[in-house]
Structure 1
Amino acid sequence: MEILIIGATGRTGRLIMRLALEDGYHVTAFVRSPEKLNRPVTGVRIIQGDAEDAMQIHNVISQYKFDAVVIAVGAETFKCSKVRTQTTRNVVDALENKSPSTRLWVISSAGSNESMEQLGFFSRTFIKNILKGHISDHSKQENITQNSILPYTIVRPTGLRGIGVVADHNYIVVTKEMIPTDSIKRGELAHFIVCNMFNEEYVGKAVVVTSKP
């Protein structure tokens, strides 16, 4: 199986890449700065590019056949950003034109769109006042995904912490109920995505993943 990870140099993207390789997937990493990857990266096809450039994304998806694409891009500041929205729009357009059966995974955030109502008071207050630019970007990327014809899964993690891969898999999947905790280890998020990469249970859904109470 061929997997494309967009944003593989990020802390979560690196873990997804590592677990996917361990599970035997063939991985392509589309990254802006290849020098940020830990070297050597055995078994990974590395493509340098800008995911906000529609032509570059179309060229990659036209040149290679991917069974799944994971969008793991993010912004490094609290300022308003459109990187998630633009990247997702480019990927969705390219896949719909070239490979509409490709499974799409989009890493969003708890608090996006209707999931805001699943958060506790303090989490809602923090997001609305501190992370409103990020959440706006996530909500827009979700809307683009949900309006597509692709077999997608949107993952809404709570606050991400830690960088290492963990072994206990101490997380839960939340659909519409209140979210009981406010954080999850990055390794747990990566584990959920890789282990369910082609699980049809989550096709067409947006789910929250968070640590167990």
Structure 2
Amino acid sequence: MNVFIVGGTGTLGRQIVRRALDEGHHVYCFVRSPAKATFLREWGATILQGNLCAADSILEALKYAKAAVVIDASATRPTDTLTIAAVDWQGKVNLIQAAQAADIEHLIFFSIMRAQDYPQVPLMQIKHCTEDFLRESGLNYTILRPCGFFQGLIGQYAIPILENQSIWVLGESTAIAYMDTQDVAKFAVRAIDRPATYGKTFDLAGTRAWTADEIIQLCENLSGQQAKITRLPIGVLRAARQATQWFQWTWNISDRLAFTEVIASGQVFNAPMEDVYRTFDLDPNATLTLEEYLQDYFTRILRKLKELDYEKAKQKKSGRKKRSPFKSTP
């Protein structure tokens, strides 16, 4: 089947591309910068250049791909020059309207768990509004709503511990059922030819919900190192958000800070998954746990560090044995 993927260069998107290709689909990746998508072409995907903010480019690419299914895994990056409103709202409206015009059979959209509960947070409000817009579009749709990815925890917890840097813990720790992006990708690709998912919204949760303190303790146990924890009151976060709202070039930062306040709220982001696994015909026992993911990460990193230390010691020892040919014997 011809599958049109938006956001294929992202952390989640690349896993969807990889899995769709592995399952024999013809994958077309809609990207802003083909230079950053070279690895997708090497995997076997066809690269189509365009921009969600340029509606004509979407329709042109969809018609070229002759795709039956669209998977939208795109998201605004904090460093983007465009705002969240421009990409995550107007861009998604453009995509949905282009899908209507191109007679797309099925659109799979990634939202965020409990987006409807946080109308004061720009990204959550936009995701919720996009869900409603998609439901009213007349398209066959599937909405997937994960709440967090394992991959984001490496920079947030693992690396600071290894580098003896502070870990910032904000407000009251929120328990979040993170998932590996490879497991999330399974649901997206399985939905491609699964009519049982049409017109439905699915929360996606990992094997258990973890607070920041629990993740830090797990990282400490696996790395054998103690974390430096700096706890930041929620009031400081709110003040920073207000300050960044004053300047256009910091609007994206302000919106991200608002989202950060969600994960410092002390609420639980989790959901029952039995019926979801049954609908998608996936084995819950094959889902990676956070313990397994971090165990693999720390095992590989600590092994690499030992190898580097060995090489440094070897070079140092070798250097002591050598005598410079330019130095006279005393």
Same fold (TM over 0.5): yes
| Greater strand proportion | 1
What is the CA RMSD across the aligned residues, in angstroms? 2.2
Q: Distance in 2 between matches of 1:78 and 1:160?
A: 19
The answer to whether structure 1 residue 155 and structure 2 residue 144 are counterparts is: yes
* Structure number with higher relative contact order (C-alpha < 8 Å, ≥ 6 residues apart): 1
| Paired residue secondary structure (2:52) | coil
After TM superposition, the score normalised by the length of structure 1 is 0.78
Match for 1:212 among 207, 210, 219? Answer: 207
Identity of aligned residues (%): 27
The answer to whether structure 1 residue 12 and structure 2 residue 16 are counterparts is: no
The answer to whether structure 1 residue 46 and structure 2 residue 47 are counterparts is: yes
Match for 2:84 among 72, 78, 81? Answer: 81
Letter in 1 for 2:78: T
Runs of at least 5 residues in structure 2 that lack an aligned partner in the other structure: 153-174, 209-330
Over 3 Å counting, the alpha-carbon distance change for 1:5 and 1:21 in structure 2 is same
Q: Is the 8 A contact 2:4 2:65 kept in 1?
A: no
Q: Is the 8 A contact 2:29 2:45 kept in 1?
A: yes
Q: Distance in 2 between matches of 1:128 and 1:139?
A: 8
Q: Distance in 2 between matches of 1:78 and 1:110?
A: 24
Runs of at least 5 residues in structure 1 that lack an aligned partner in the other structure: 117-126, 164-179
The answer to whether structure 1 residue 94 and structure 2 residue 95 are counterparts is: no
Over 3 Å counting, the alpha-carbon distance change for 1:55 and 1:128 in structure 2 is closer
Q: Is the 8 A contact 2:18 2:43 kept in 1?
A: no
Q: Is the 8 A contact 1:26 1:44 kept in 2?
A: yes
Q: Distance in 2 between matches of 1:154 and 1:78?
A: 26
Letter in 1 for 2:144: V
Q: Distance in 1 between matches of 2:42 and 2:103?
A: 27
Runs of 4+ in 1 over 3 A off after TM superposition: none
Q: Is the 8 A contact 1:152 1:205 kept in 2?
A: yes
Question: How big is each residue's C-alpha offset from its partner over 1:162-213, in whole Å with a ceiling of 9 and x where there is no partner?
Answer: 28xxxxxxxxxxxxxxxx9531111111111112222111110111011023
Q: How does 1:36-185 map to 2 (within 5 A)?
A: 36-39=36-39, 41-77=42-78, 81-82=84-85, 83-100=87-104, 102-113=105-116, 116=117, 132-162=121-151, 181-185=176-180
The answer to whether structure 1 residue 198 and structure 2 residue 193 are counterparts is: yes
Letter in 1 for 2:204: V
Q: Is the 8 A contact 1:109 1:135 kept in 2?
A: yes
Shift of 1:33: 1.6
Q: Distance in 1 between matches of 2:115 and 2:44?
A: 35
| Paired residue secondary structure (1:110) | coil
The aligned length equals 182
